[in-house]
Amino acid sequence: MRDVLIGIDAGTSVIKSVAFDTAGRQIAAAALPNKYETLPGGGAEQDLARTWLDTAATLHQLADKVPNLASRTIAIAVTGQGDGTWLIDREGEPVAKGWLWLDARAARVVEEIRARPEDRLRFEKTGSGLAACQQGSQFAFMKRNMPEILAKAATAFHCKDWLYFRLTGERATDPSEGTFTFGDFRTRGYSDEVLDVLGVTDLRHLLPPIVDGTRHSAGLSQATADATGLITGTPVVLAYVDVVCTALGAGLFDRKHKPGCSIIGSTGMHMRLAETPDEVLLNEAATGYTMTMPAPGVFAQMQSNMAATLNIDWVLGIASGILASQGITRSNGEMIALVDEWISVSEPASLLYQPYVSEAGERGPFVDANARAGFVGISSRHGYADLVRAVFEGLAFAARDCYAAMGPLPKEIRLTGGAARSPALRKILGAAVGADIRTSEREEAGAAGAAMIAAVCVGQYASMDECVGEWVTPLLGAAEPSDQKLAAIYERLVPSYTLAHEALRPVWRSMAAPRTKTDVTKTDLTN
């Protein structure tokens, strides 16, 4: 009896394979930590072969947890981290390591393209602002600086596309990533005009066909069946990019309430639902992203902070390091308990924190690869607890900044990601945006979203709306109302937050100049 759907989610930090029953209940999960390396000059790369082997290993581990998994599997769906460039040759072998969304090497190319008048055409076609993390920007950089790599390549993938290829032997990408950098979101296809603006028309042959996972699947290859212990011919679905799948699993796809949806993970992704192309609001700053959803004519409009929980990791890492130097260790749970204690004794909005701790800078609602984190307003009365609270408030103000760039602020936010478990963050975010917060009991929203696409593809459900009704809605928790007193305090600080990052941009640029010179020198010495 076939009664299991498998969702694979190859994230930046962890690669997971998760088994669900046909009603969306999670049966078991297997995971391995992901690995990538950072390079001088802003590079961030990942080994393709290692990524595949780790993914196959999670499928083996899942089989150990679910009896008769191979014979019970209805379909497998794969999603993964977005953006980046994963190149393979005609034989299907990698020609270089995969460039990740964290890679900032194309930052100057992005500045050049965004400064051109024709970039507005590209933005209006794709619905997406240009950033160094995207494949189009990375193509342009490689074309100038590494043409030999492009010359060896036959196909350009993203992470999930590579894994789908290894599972099936089929070269393809999905509508969300296919149109994100190179296409027209209205038609869900590639656009020659966009390729021309990016200056990469001659690389069009590297773009794989776009297939929609709600309607298309391929059979598991014999080689992969041997490597994973699954059965040859099992349907494999190329799901949409991880952020779309996570939003799907977390509750963004709600035509009635149209909530916002925030994923507070390594990055912060903030989304609204658009049921027609006309509902997509394209701002004057040409920032944000538009991605197709796995339903006809429906889109997710997004603004994304480059760093979310990375800020929390940083500020808590300072405390952990000090404690460790004194021979004191604290578990993650104990540190979270300390956070709640620190926030409870600190004063709201007593200083500002700009949460741009990523080496790649910021991409939403403004694009600046030089952006860096910092505190504004520290005085001698502030202690460590105030700094911790300011970091959490900075993430909340950044989320509000993103929602404001897409239109009216939402009245409700569906929250997911690792930090969604923090009561302090939920309260602060709800007050900063002025929205009720709802979290889902769903443990693995990304893998679930991928499996939902497979469920529709194989006919388990007639539509995605029907699937959401059984897989998502019953798992949504009760709304946590926005704290109106705290919201009033934060409302007064919003203009200061915006003014701070606008005023600091020339400072960031000035500070980046000597850093860039150093990176260039290092690169020259190694060549």
pLDDT tens digits, 214-224: 999 999 999 99
pLDDT score for 515 = 58
**Dist CA 239 CA 82 (whole Å):** 12
pLDDT of residue 333: 65
Rounded CA separation 129/501 (Å): 19
What CATH code would you report for 1-82+158-168+213-251+443-476?
Answer: 3.30.420.40
User: Of the given ranges (321-330, 401-410, 449-458, 479-488), which has the lowest mean pLDDT?
Assistant: 321-330
CA–CA distance, 347 with 387 (Å, rounded to integer) = 10
Taking residue 127's Cβ as centre, other Cβ atoms within 10 Å add up to 25
Whether the CB-CB separation of 412 and 366 falls below 8 Å is answered with no
Tokens representing 347 are 């004063």
Please tell me the distance from the alpha carbon of residue 262 to that of residue 2, in angstroms, as a whole number: 34
Phi-psi region of 367 (alpha: psi -120 to 50; beta: other; left: phi over 0): beta
Helices 332-344 & 384-404 angle (0-180, nearest 10)? 90
* Third-level CATH fold of 255-439+483-527: Nucleotidyltransferase; domain 5 (3.30.420)
Taking 90 as the threshold, does the pLDDT of residue 189 lie above it?
yes
pLDDT(442) > 90: no
Give pLDDT, residue 132.
Answer: 87
Q: How many CB atoms lie within 10 A of CB 166?
A: 22
Q: What's the confidence (pLDDT) of residue 410?
A: 93
DSSP SS3 for 299: strand
Residue 514: predicted pLDDT: 66
Among 261, 274, 244, 270, which residue's Cα sits nearest to residue 399?
A: 270
User: In the predicted model, what is the mean pLDDT of residues 327-342?
Assistant: 75
Cβ atoms within 10 A of the Cβ of 120, count? Answer: 14
Q: For residues 431 and 441, give the distance between their C-alpha atoms in angstroms, rounded to a whole number.
A: 22
Tell me how far apart the alpha carbons of residues 165 and 256 are, in angstroms, rounded to a whole number: 37
Domain boundaries, the chain: 1-82+158-168+213-251+443-476, 101-154+175-210, 255-439+483-527
pLDDT of residue 220: 95
3-state secondary structure of 408: coil
pLDDT at residue 434 greater than cutoff 60: yes
> What is the model's pTM?
0.85
Contact (CB, 8 A) for 150 and 204: no
255-439+483-527 has the same fold as 1-82+158-168+213-251+443-476: yes
Q: Could you tell me how many residues make up the chain?
A: 527
Q: Give the tens place of pLDDT for each residue, 279-323.
A: 888 888 888 899 999 998 899 999 988 778 788 888 877 877 887
Average pLDDT over residues 220-247: 93
The architecture in CATH of the region 101-154+175-210 reads 2-Layer Sandwich (3.30)
What's the average model confidence in pLDDT over 111-133?
92
One-letter amino acid of 222: Q
Highest mean pLDDT among 191-205, 273-287, 321-335: 191-205
What is residue 132's three-state secondary structure? coil
Residue type, 133: C
Selected residue with higher pLDDT from 527 and 232: 232
Q: Categorise residue 506: left if φ over 0, alpha if ψ from -120 to 50, beta otherwise.
A: alpha
Please tell me the distance from the alpha carbon of residue 62 to that of residue 42, in angstroms, as a whole number: 36
Q: What is the pLDDT of residues 51-104, one digit of tens each?
A: 999 999 999 999 999 999 999 999 999 999 989 999 999 999 999 999 998 898
Percentage of residues in the chain having pLDDT higher than 70? 96
Residue 147, classed as helix, strand or coil, is helix
Is residue 211 scored above 80 in pLDDT? yes
At a CB cut-off of 8 Å and minimum separation 6, what does 374 contact? Answer: 353, 354, 356, 504
